[in-house]
Each structure stands twice: as C-alpha cells, then as structure tokens.
Amino acid sequence: MLIFVAKDKDMAAQRIGIMIIKQLILLKQSGYSNRKCSKHLSVGRNAINRYVKALEATGQSWDELAQMDEQSIDEMFPSKETHDPGKYETLAKQFEYFSIELKKTGCTRQTLWEKYLVQNPEGYGYTQFNVHYNRWLKQKKGSGKLTHEAGDKIYIDFCGQTIPYVDRETGEVIEVQIFVGILPCSQYTFVQAYASQCKEDFVNAVSDCLEFFGGSPNAIVPDNLKSAVTKASKYSPKLNKTLQDLGLHYGSVINPTRAYSPQDKALVEGAVRLVYQRIFYPLNEITFHSIAEINESIKELLDNYNKVYKLSHIKISRHQLFLNVEKTKLKSLPQNRYEIRHFKRLTVQKIGFIFLNDYKNYYSVPHRLIGKKLEVRYNAKTVEVYYDSKRVAGHLTSKTAGKYTLKPDHLSSQHQFYSEWSPEYFYKLAIPIGETTASYVRQIIDRADYPETAYKQCLGIIHLPKDYGKKRVDQACKRGHKWDRYSYWTIKQILTNKMDLLEEQEEENQSDIPDHDNIRGPEYYEQLLNE
C-alpha cells in the first residue's frame, strides 16, 4: 500500500533512514529542488521523489514537518514488513464516513481518531491516521471527484428526456420538461415537471426547488442553458438579468457550470441518470392527463428515492444525511417568493416619458433624463427605472393601453401642462388655429381606441403653426376632413407637399365664377330631391 514500494518485482524500492528523511525535510524547507536533494544526500532521484510526495501528502508545511520528532516522522513510513494490509483496509472503509462527519460543526480529526481507536485498539497512531487520510483525500481530488461543502451549492438542470401527458379534450400528446436540483454534499434531490424550459418556467422551478430544500445555498449552479445564460463562456458566462435578480433575492450567487467542462456537472448528471432509473422508468406504463398528475406521481417516487434508498458508501439515506449535515447550513428563505421581473433599456421621449410595449403605456421620469437610455425593471406590480445603477423613478404597473402614468414633479415647468391632458384641453388649444383644426383634433381623439393614444398626435398638430402658420394648418385640416383621414402625419404630409395651397386655390377659383341666371345653385337640386 506504500507509495514507495517498487512495481518492478526484481528491484526493491530504496528505503532511507530517519536521519536522511529529516535532512531531506530541512533541504526542502530551504527551497532545494528534488534533484539537488538527491545530490546532497547521495540518494537516487526516484526515491527522493517518492519520499517528497509522501511528505507533501500529509498536508503539513515543511516548517511544521521540521518541528516533528523522529518517532512521528517514522510512523509516516512503516516498513513493508510491518505494514498490515488488513489494518489499512479497516481504516480506509471509514474515510467516506470521516469526510461527511468532518463537515459537521465541532467535529475534528482528533475526535474521529479516538472513536476509531475505541473500535480498533490495535489501530494506527494519530500521525499515521492523518497520513493515510490525507493521502486518500489527495487521491480523491486527483481522480477529479469534487469535495462538496454542506450548504455551499445546489446543482440544477433540465433532464434530456421528457414525460408525456394526453389532453383529455383534444387528445393531443404534450411533452413536459423535468427539472432536477441536487445538494451535492448530501445528494438530497428535487424533481418536478414543468411545461417548458422558458425563462418563466425556469425561474419558477428554481424557486420551487429552494422551497423544497427549505433554504438557499451560497451558490446556484445551472448548466449553460438559454434560460439562465445569455452568453456561454468557460470562465465568465454572461447571465440573463432575471436570473441575477433571482439570485440576489435568495442571497445566492449564480455560478453556471463551465462550458466544455463536464466534470463540473458530473454530479447532477449522475443524479439525472438515477432519476431515469428510479422515477422515469416506473412512470412508463402510466397514462397521464395533466402536469399535476405527473407531479403527484413524481412526488411519491421522489420521497421513496430520498428517504428509502441508501447511499452505498455510508449506508444512510439522502434525506437523513441532509437532516444530519446540510439542512442547518442553508440560509433562510426570504418571506416572499421571488416574482419574475423583466429588464429593458429604453430611451426617454422628448416629453419626459418612457414607453413600455408590454402594456402599451407610458411612465414619467425626471425631465433631466430626456433623451437618455435608462434601464427599466418591471413586473405585474411595479415599474422601476434606473440610470447609472441609481433608481430614478418608480410606478405601479398599469395595464390600461395608452395610459400616461405621471408624477408631476418629474416634469419641467415647460412640460407641466402635460399633466392636464384631456380631450377638452386639446380642443381649446386648437380653437385659436381655426374651427376646422379644432374639429379635426376632436375627430382624432374620438376615433382613437383610447384618447391618450391620440394626445401626442394632437399636440403635434397644435405645434405645426410655428412652421407653417395658422391659416395653412387650418386649410390642411380641411383637406384632411375631405379625405376622412385623421392623424398628425396626414396633416404633416399635406403641408410638406403644399396640398393645402391647392385647397385654397380651389376655393378662390370657385369664388371667381360670376352669378348668372342660367346657373342653378344647390338649392335648385335640393328642391328637386324634395319633390
């Protein structure tokens, strides 16, 4: 079992005396390379390499090793004759148990060694106990098997396979996604079905998972799926902001597995394989008619998986190990469940509002930010606006299309009048331009699904006299009436193309026709119709 026993049957591994080992420790303490130590001590390089590795495996520094007495050092290197394979195997069987116990608050190696001696009075001394355990830890780490701290992480992922259900009304077969979360230290597992892998379902799955465990870890480790990661990277993946927001709500760092590094997610993939065996397979013969039915069956099988099946290396269930080691290490959940928020970058309009397309309405921001790009964070309840990471506005979410949600102090003095917007207000503003313009403005508002959606168009028409004069704008509105087309852009195009001047010219031409007895006016034709 000793690492310096030669594999070559014809050659015994070189064994060096305790005094040489102490000199080796002093040379390494001074920073000598293995090659130089070999020359100074006249010992073969292979032997020096083996002893250095054995000393490093103790986990102690060269300074600490230099302070040890000869007996303690000698215990690290039992001779081949005195090495008892049976004694080592008895100790080695408990290494997994030791690794679990050491994660518990107050447990020390000294305590575990004392318990070991009670069961094995002829067992190893404390120094040799540590040497063997450290060597096992090093081999475990070298094999790529990660050591997980209690309450540190939760690994999450969607399974590759789906489970179907049959819609009772349509007969359609609908595949649902299966989400898996696992605490790597205790391997306590959460499984539940969701309609899809979209962002909303993914966020709900994570929240359900944390509520199932009854706490949140230091880090949530998703795979690089699109619901979680905007841009994959081996070292610094770019998370979508909704997932970052979820992590902040639960006090956890979101730390996706590294792309192209399967060892990072080996545990959760192993859990998925077990889920296939313990949960998917028993469900194969059942026909479901809803997600709720699927989750009811999953819940029963999952309870059995966590509480009945025992982990082979320590003969204890996942649930019991979770209660013993991990539950108290998780952070308390916040009082309120996370409500998904959306994030957008929007430009402030000239009148001091941002337009939120989801509900097609407007929200005011401080007038100094007109023309700036702001980050908007919103959900079904609130709309929050940020500039340079500082919150500059907050509103209750409105679901009325076209509504202007306003805080009067957001507007400058020149914009204060927007708070008074109403159909009558715009009608009064249009009257000084002309009766036709006022009538046209009224038509724009009356024909709109929501009056607020027409206000900006009316405001645009009211401002046109600055460039074209009142007379031309009123003539343009007259022509717009004839076309039965009502919008700001209709009047703007008429003015740009000087079609309002044609309207005026037609009126002049009509007024130039002299009165004549042979010319019948409209009254004549009206009389004919009445007869």
pLDDT surpassing 50 at residue 8: no
Q: Rounded to whole angstroms, how far apart are CA atoms 62 and 56?
A: 8
Contact between 407 and 364 (Cβ < 8 Å): yes
pTM: 0.53
Query: What pLDDT score was predicted for residue 5?
Result: 35
Contact between 371 and 387 (Cβ < 8 Å): no
- Over residues 194-231, the pLDDT tens digits come to 999 888 899 999 999 999 999 999 888 887 555 444 44
Contact between 250 and 218 (Cβ < 8 Å): no
Query: What pLDDT score was predicted for residue 39?
Result: 78
In a domain, 516, yes or no: no
Nearest to 90 by CA among 28, 223, 1: 1
Contact between 20 and 43 (Cβ < 8 Å): yes
Last residue of a domain, one of 274, 296, 329: 329
Contact between 371 and 389 (Cβ < 8 Å): no
- Over residues 477-508, the pLDDT tens digits come to 999 988 888 999 999 999 999 888 876 666 66
Residue 445 banded pLDDT, cuts 50, 70, 90: confident
pLDDT surpassing 50 at residue 234: no
Query: What pLDDT score was predicted for residue 232?
Result: 44
Which residue range forms the structural domain that includes residue 99?
18-142
Residue 112 banded pLDDT, cuts 50, 70, 90: confident
Strands 219-222 and 342-347: unpaired
Considering the domain architecture, whether residues 108 and 35 belong to the same structural domain is answered as yes
In a domain, 87, yes or no: yes
Residue 60 banded pLDDT, cuts 50, 70, 90: confident
Last residue of a domain, one of 387, 416, 445: 416
Considering the domain architecture, whether residues 467 and 349 belong to the same structural domain is answered as no
Considering the domain architecture, whether residues 130 and 172 belong to the same structural domain is answered as no
Considering the domain architecture, whether residues 436 and 411 belong to the same structural domain is answered as no
In Å, how far are 92, 101, 132, 135 from 124, measured between CA atoms?
12, 19, 9, 15
Considering the domain architecture, whether residues 164 and 277 belong to the same structural domain is answered as yes
Considering the domain architecture, whether residues 78 and 175 belong to the same structural domain is answered as no
Considering the domain architecture, whether residues 91 and 168 belong to the same structural domain is answered as no
As a whole number of Å, the CA-based R_g of the chain is 40
Amino acid identity at 216: S
Amino acid identity at 403: K
What is the CA angle 430-500-456, rounded to 5?
35
Contacts of 47 (CB under 8 A, 6+ apart): 4, 13, 14, 15, 16
pLDDT surpassing 70 at residue 369: yes
pLDDT above 90 as % of the chain: 24
In a domain, 519, yes or no: no
Number of domains in the chain: 4
